[in-house]
Chains A and B, each alone.
Chain A
Amino acid sequence: QKEVEQDPGPLSVPEGAIVSLNCTYSNSAFQYFMWYRQYSRKGPELLMYTYSSGNKEDGRFTAQVDKSSKYISLFIRDSQPSDSATYLCAMSADSGAGSYQLTFGKGTKLSVIP
């Protein structure tokens, strides 16, 4: 079983739709959860960061972490064509439990159609 599972898509939605992107994980030691956005032929850039369980909102983006289910989500409201990108989830354990590494999902490719 992979440590982090992420549906690769592709996911195609009309402009204005609500998008839900998800990752599941198996390592209960993960405490830090991130979402990265990667445009075509660019490096990943940090979109959202969450520590432990709960929700975090930033504009049209909401990140949710459910540690009891080992499940994280990224919601995009009022999606725009500029949101078309690959979204990577990433997570890491507390420094006392693992190495200095992030574990990445393989990414979900999203296309928002005007």
Chain B
Amino acid sequence: NAGVTQTPKFRVLKTGQSMTLLCAQDMNHEYMYWYRQDPGMGLRLIHYSVGEGTTAKGEVPDGYNVSRLKKQNFLLGLESAAPSQTSVYFCASSYDYGLLTPGGETQYFGPGTRLLVL
């Protein structure tokens, strides 16, 4: 199993450009998450999904959109990139939220995408 994979690994954008980050998981997990990690700020949740076709806002959703058309994929879109979106983006997935399976809320992370917006 590859676990959680992210594409691309690194990207440079100019202000105003758009891009899509792809996350894929092969663990048949229901829940998927997008985080950003900035120095001194820790991991902050952008959006998440509790199943195919669903999405919800996290702590810092502004400037981002997401889609979960297939269970194994979770896409994060930046419609008009800004320098404030320079960050490392992590995708994660989990089996469930622990109600059914103790430990099911454990999240498994991808390797990250480094994004620089100039």
Interface residue tally on A, bucketed by range: 20 to 34
Contact partner of A42 (CB less than 8 A), chosen from B97, B99, B111, is B111
User: Interface with B: A57-65, A67-75, A101-109, which one?
Assistant: A101-109
Cα separation A45 to B107 with both chains bound (whole Å):
9
With contacts A42-B112, A44-B43 known, is A102 near B97, CB below 8 A? Answer: no
Tell me if A17 is interfacial: C-beta within 8 Å of chain B: no
With contacts A88-B43, A95-B97 known, is A100 near B31, CB below 8 A? Answer: yes
B39 to chain A, nearest CB (A): 10
Across the interface, do A46 and B112 meet the contact criterion of CB distance under 8 Å? no
Within 8 A of A (CB), among B60-118: 90, 92, 97-99, 102-103, 105-112
A56 to chain B, nearest CB (A): 12
Mask of A81-102 contacts with B, CB within 8 angstroms, 1/0: 0000000101010111001111
Across the interface, do A88 and B42 meet the contact criterion of CB distance under 8 Å? yes
A-B pairs, 6 with minimum CB distance: A43-B109, A106-B42, A95-B99, A95-B97, A104-B43, A44-B109
> Can you show 28 pairs from A to B with CB atoms below 8 A apart?
A8-B40, A32-B98, A32-B105, A34-B106, A36-B109, A41-B112, A42-B111, A43-B4, A43-B111, A43-B112, A45-B109, A46-B106, A46-B108, A51-B102, A88-B42, A95-B97, A95-B98, A95-B99, A100-B56, A100-B97, A100-B105, A101-B48, A101-B58, A102-B105, A102-B107, A104-B43, A106-B41, A106-B42
